[in-house]
Structure 1
Amino acid sequence: MGEERATVLQSESLLVREGAGENSSSVTTTLVLSTFVAASISFGVGYIAGYTSPTQSVIMEDLGLSIAEFSLFGSLLNLGSILGALVSGKTVDLLGRKGTMWVLYIFYIVGWLAIAFAKVPWLLDVGRLLLGFSNGIAGYLLPVYLAEITPKNLRGRFTAGVQMMAILGLSTMYIVGPFINWRILALIGIIPSLVQLPLLIYIPESPRWLVNVGREEEFETVLRSLRGKKANVFEEAASIKDYTDSLKRLSGGGMLDLFQPKYYHSLIIGIGLKVLQHSGGSNAYTYYSGVIFTSAGLSKYVGLSTLAVIQMITAIVGASLIDKFGRRALLLVSSAGLCFGSFLTGISFLLQGHHLWSEEARILALISIWVYMGSYQAGMEGIPWVIVAEIFPINVKGAAGSLAGLTGNICSWTVSYNFNFLFQWSSAGTFFIYSAICGVCVIFIAKMVPETKGRTLEEIQASLTTSP
């Protein structure tokens, strides 16, 4: 066993020195098509997340729901995501990245149909739960698939671009949601899945998954299609094979294998990021921004439409900067913006509660929500999953993805379910709590999170994995 570990460590060191044989690559048609399919799924994820914000009052009125019943409906997206996260790693490893996409579309279509034709609350809840289950799997699947098909010089931008599509879906819901019947909105949600189904036939499986399951001939063909016919993929293919083979000799990839001392550093980073990402109020702002705007004395329609524009602008900026300034820098700026934005939201409600500067407090509330959601979309929305996809080796990536998704979604459910009750208790105090959590997030990123830009997956993983 000692010689085996030494061999693996020598192999990892060789990969780091040689740069894992992955040269800068051009954009190919296959890569673009694969990214487009992933982006379509991401758009659907964002569309689902924004559904409750413009529809809360009309759904409650049409179906006679109480605040508690609608809070349950809203939070079931996260409960479903918890269930999806539990099986995401094993599902993606067993069925493959592409195979899992086929399964997702079935759940998306059935979930939206259940909501669109719901006459009773339980059917509405079932639909929301199914959509959450799909989102829980997709949250892990998309960054892993993209990280495994893109070359290192394009990985950050492509992954951030796909994450930006989730923001486009969310923004679309914010803009059109207030003007379209909630049942029609649910039917519109089926469209991305119908568009993607025929395209799935033409996209490749992840090359790293193929070599991990022993389909080496198909692996080389897929890698060449992703890099281009003229690209020299020999060194990259050899590096991926060597690294994957060395990992197979050490562990089987189960959940217990993840809790080895050599993975502790990666676990702290991955789980810590997901917990802090979802504990700082992001789901409260996303699901209930319409209620927040109305409570602050602002027009829900003006607030949601302007918020949609702000989110798109900051998402584009974040996606364009991720490979220039790096993941860590964007995370620091983003989390600091979350801390500041939620603090300002708390101040605005505090002023209104004491009937001070009422007009100025409303304007402050609007700006603070812009700051919070803009900061979130610029970094904290997507980068934590990017890092989780980068830092764990393929032999434990499935287990790590399930655990990260599970812990993050438990925090999401806690925030989304309790927001309405906390908001009734103290509107200002709620946002001060979120601000404090975001402040902890800034410190965590500064102390624990490494920079991963410009490095191959094998380099990143070798640098974080320590010998037990």
Structure 2
Amino acid sequence: MSSRENSGLEDGLRKPLLHTGSWYKMGMGSRQSSIMSSSAQMIRESISIFLCVFIVALGPIQFGFTCGYSNPTQSDIINDLGLTISEFSVFGSLANVGAMVGAIASGQIAEYIGRKGSLMIAAIPNIIGWLAISFAKDSSFLFMGRLLEGFGVGIISYTVPVYIAEIAPQNLRGSLGSVNQLSVTIGIMLAYLLGMFLHWRVLAVLGILPCTLLIPGLFFIPESPRWLAKMGLNEDFETSLQVLRGFETDISIEVNEIKRSVASSTKRTTIRFSELQRRRYWYPLMLGIGLLVLQQLSGINGVLFYSSNIFKSAGISSDKAATFGLGAIQVVVTGITTSLVDKAGRRVLLIVSSAMMTMSSFLVAIAFYLEDVLPEKSRFILGIMSLVGLVILVIGFSLGLGAIPWIIMSEILPVNIKSLAGSVATLFNWLTASIVTMTANLLMTWSTGGTFTIYALVSAFTVVFVKIWVPETKGRTLEEIQWSFR
């Protein structure tokens, strides 16, 4: 064993759970003899990066499928298992509880065994959870399965955006980072679509597919080079970065930047809360938490979870079809966003997104306020008005507030506190999501118009928050962004 490995063991460091494969090093060994044109090299680099993103995107698809599962299955599960409405509400909310636990653990797991190892850990409880739900005979298995799913989703929600940010070149980081949210919306849409035709048990069995494919896929992609560098695994770090950038690319400048960035950081895998109290970390931490909390306070989860009921109360009969339509719109607009993030910039899209959500929430609120004033024959017009408002709301969310807070969180947090700070930001996101999900039904029972007025005011505050405090991170390396906060 080499002296470097001995010192690594003495420091309590761990090798990656899923090691960089030997086939990468074979490619490295033969790179000198291969002759490639610059255009072919760009294609090679793109294939390597996109393969990595495509594989880890299976995690957010699982995330979205978990979020969307309870919407089309509510009545069938209640009837088959004899649950009360309150028991089903507990079932729905347990995913958030599990996700909060997963979020707390996610940073330390990702720091201790690597980003790929963390995703492996997340995939296993997800698979077990879906199987528990599919074979459930009573509420106990149902609840256990939902908790396990939530735990896995909590880890995925932190690890995937961080991994993508750490492997992506600066000119593609925004677009590739948006794939995380695009995959979540695809998962939600699939749950809505398949839930219209399949029994809830069959739908739960299909829920294991993303993570079942993710596990073998993780063996074919490299570990995050920045994590490897922080752990002092320099040979693996350079191998990983070379694979990601292409075997003929000169990576010396990027290698030096990353080494300089991690030189001042500790190799310890355990970070204390006291380290977050240092003044230079307050700003990036507050930005990360603020954006992820405002994302949820916009009310999007309340709208998506209870869209069928909202459509019913607005007088729209095909509520499941309308809900699926919302899911499809989310996918299309989030797909468009992936091409805009690195061109228009993060701040512009966040401002436009929040402004659209403000106007659309007010439009829905007005429609429900007028419901009690206008005669019965005008209800159809109000239904159309609320439908248009909800569509614009979902378009606005998908245009920026859905994807960009996760991108910015993964960009601005310094590497030496990213594990704990990222866990804290993700925890706040899931805690806020739980509050919004649990209160949405109660608020809409109190006043649907009033509920959307509250959501509109939060979105208006988000515009102000972004304009005053959020910096533009487009076109800058992670090291440049993080040094700017010092």
TM over 0.5: yes
Match of residue 403 from structure 1: 424
What does residue range 203-222 of structure 1 map to in structure 2 within 5 Å?
203-222=221-240
Deviates more, 1:131-140 or 1:220-229: 131-140
Match of residue 366 from structure 1: 387
Match of residue 296 from structure 1: 314
Give the distance between the partners of 1:269 and 1:173, measured in 2 at CA. Answer: 32
What does residue range 45-444 of structure 1 map to in structure 2 within 5 Å?
45-248=63-266, 253-298=271-316, 299-356=318-375, 357-444=378-465
Give the distance between the partners of 2:367 and 2:191, measured in 1 at CA. Answer: 26
Shift, 1:251, TM fit:
12
Deviations 1:243-277 (A, max 9, x none): 10123399974322112101111122111111111
The alignment partner of 2:454 has SS state of helix
Shift, 1:162, TM fit:
3.2
Shift, 1:305, TM fit:
2.8
Shift, 1:30, TM fit:
2.8
Q: Is the 8 A contact 2:56 2:218 kept in 1?
A: no
Unpaired runs of 5+ in structure 1?
A: 1-23
Give the distance between the partners of 2:180 and 2:100, measured in 1 at CA. Answer: 22
Shift, 1:444, TM fit:
0.7
Match of residue 485 from structure 2: 464
Shift, 1:405, TM fit:
0.9
Deviations 1:85-139 (A, max 9, x none): 1111111101110111111110110111111111212221221111111111111
Shift, 1:25, TM fit:
6.6
Shift, 1:334, TM fit:
1.1
Q: Is the 8 A contact 1:104 1:134 kept in 2?
A: yes
Aligned amino acid, residue 168 of structure 2: T
Give the distance between the partners of 2:188 and 2:297, measured in 1 at CA. Answer: 20
Give the distance between the partners of 2:445 and 2:78, measured in 1 at CA. Answer: 18
Match of residue 16 from structure 1: none
Give the distance between the partners of 1:318 and 1:199, measured in 2 at CA. Answer: 26
Give the distance between the partners of 2:367 and 2:148, measured in 1 at CA. Answer: 37
C-alpha spacing 1:384/1:288, structure 2 compared with 1 (3 Å): same
C-alpha spacing 1:63/1:353, structure 2 compared with 1 (3 Å): farther
Aligned amino acid, residue 95 of structure 1: I
| TM-score, length of structure 2 as denominator length | 0.88
Q: Is the 8 A contact 1:81 1:134 kept in 2?
A: yes
C-alpha spacing 1:296/1:302, structure 2 compared with 1 (3 Å): same
The alignment partner of 1:248 has SS state of coil
Give the distance between the partners of 2:234 and 2:435, measured in 1 at CA. Answer: 44
Deviations 1:183-233 (A, max 9, x none): 111111111112222221111110000011111011111110000011000
Q: Is the 8 A contact 1:53 1:291 kept in 2?
A: no
Match of residue 23 from structure 2: none
Q: Is the 8 A contact 1:175 1:304 kept in 2?
A: no
Q: Is the 8 A contact 2:108 2:270 kept in 1?
A: no
Unpaired runs of 5+ in structure 2?
A: 1-40
C-alpha spacing 1:250/1:122, structure 2 compared with 1 (3 Å): closer
Q: Is the 8 A contact 1:72 1:417 kept in 2?
A: no
Give the distance between the partners of 1:132 and 1:112, measured in 2 at CA. Answer: 11
Shift, 1:309, TM fit:
2.6
State the identity %: 42
1:36 aligns to 2:57 (yes or no): no
| TM-score, length of structure 1 as denominator length | 0.91
C-alpha spacing 1:321/1:187, structure 2 compared with 1 (3 Å): same
Q: Is the 8 A contact 2:120 2:215 kept in 1?
A: yes
Give the distance between the partners of 2:99 and 2:56, measured in 1 at CA. Answer: 18
